[in-house]
Amino acid sequence: MVGLFYLIDMKLKIAIQKSGRLYDDSLRLLKECGIIISNGGNKLKTEAANFPIEVYFLRDDDIPQYVEDGVADIGIAGENVVYEKKKKLEVLEKLGFGKCRLSIAVGKNENFSRQWLNGKKIATSYPVLLQQYLDRQKISAEIHEISGSVEIAPGIGLADAICDLVSSGSTLLTNGLKEVETILPSQAVLISNKNLDDDRRSLVKKLLFRIRAVQKARSNKYILLNAPNEKLDDIIGLLPGMKSPTVLPLAIKGWSSVHSVLEEDDFWDIIEQLKEAGAQGILVVPIEKMIV
């Protein structure tokens, strides 16, 4: 009886960003996994109505520490934060959002080479990752750690270069800087405490199964098209499909309907080839969940 009670009461604790760039996508991912939570205002934590999970809202920089300590079992944070903090964690899955890169930038008129960095002062909020890069490249430079507005450092004479996150590049441009080296491509990842018990592990497995189905669906499209039967072989040859495409006869004699699944990355190339091969009435439909 005690065991049963424990099972019913046990909840997986997930830490997500309280507000900021990862907040909306983290909540959306949980929602797409069928986990309904009411994120009532400024609450520190909330519970899902239909999955044994408690959601903690925290600052992104604190999430790796909380997960390492077991205050949260799992969490969502940017790789930049996860690897900078050097915590003992498992990275379970890349989540495909919060994409950016940690890069070195210098004044737009500098004649940059890696050796140029020798003896220079570099401002950053990522001293660990920057030092690892400098060590890899055998460059000796001075790291000046600052916590915000890194991009203004060269302009006010505080540093010769910066190492900061870049996404569109417009912040660099506005500050007269150019990106010269990417030291870490980054996106949001699901991280886990290393010592989860079996019950929590099995909940994480359930959640991961759902996350993967959502991710797979996002990167694939369902495609339907009509084709004259004499062109079918050519058209089918262009379609990967989960196994092989489904082919159904149309009411009009000599025509068939072909259904398949396409990866987003190959999408436009294949559509063009399908049209050239004689496909007509092509419909492309989003997939909600995809379990392979």
Report in angstroms how near the CB of residue 55 gets to Zn ion at its nearest: 18
Nearest to 188 by CA among 33, 13, 16, 19: 16
Identify which of residues 21 and 114 has a Cβ nearer to ligand PRT in the complex. 21
- In contact, 77 and 87? CB cutoff 8 Å: no
Report in angstroms how near the CB of residue 243 gets to ligand PRT at its nearest: 37
> Binders of Zn ion among 58-117, rule CB under 5 A?
60-61
- The single residue listed with the structure tokens 């890169």 is 101
Identify which of residues 77 and 225 has a Cβ nearer to ligand PRT in the complex. 77
Residue 282: count other Cβ atoms within 10 Å of its Cβ.
Answer: 14
Identify which of residues 186 and 260 has a Cβ nearer to Zn ion in the complex. 186
Report in angstroms how near the CB of residue 39 gets to ligand PRT at its nearest: 15
> Binders of Zn ion among 32-61, rule CB under 5 A?
60-61
Which among Zn ion, ligand PRT, none contacts residue 155 (Cβ within 5 to 8 A by kind)? none
Q: Which single residue brings its beta carbon nearest to ligand PRT?
A: 78
Nearest to 217 by CA among 288, 114, 134, 292: 288
Ranges of H-type helices in the chain: 2-9, 23-32, 63-69, 79-85, 127-137, 170-174, 198-218, 232-238, 267-276
Using the rule CB under 5 A, is 179 a contact of Zn ion?
no
Ranges of H-type helices in 169-197: 170-174
Q: What's the angle, vertex CA 180, arms to CA 179 and CA 181, rounded to 5? A: 110
Binding site for ligand PRT (CB under 6 A): 17, 20-22, 59-61, 78, 80-81, 98, 100, 164-171, 186
- Site residues (CB under 5 A) for Zn ion? 60-61
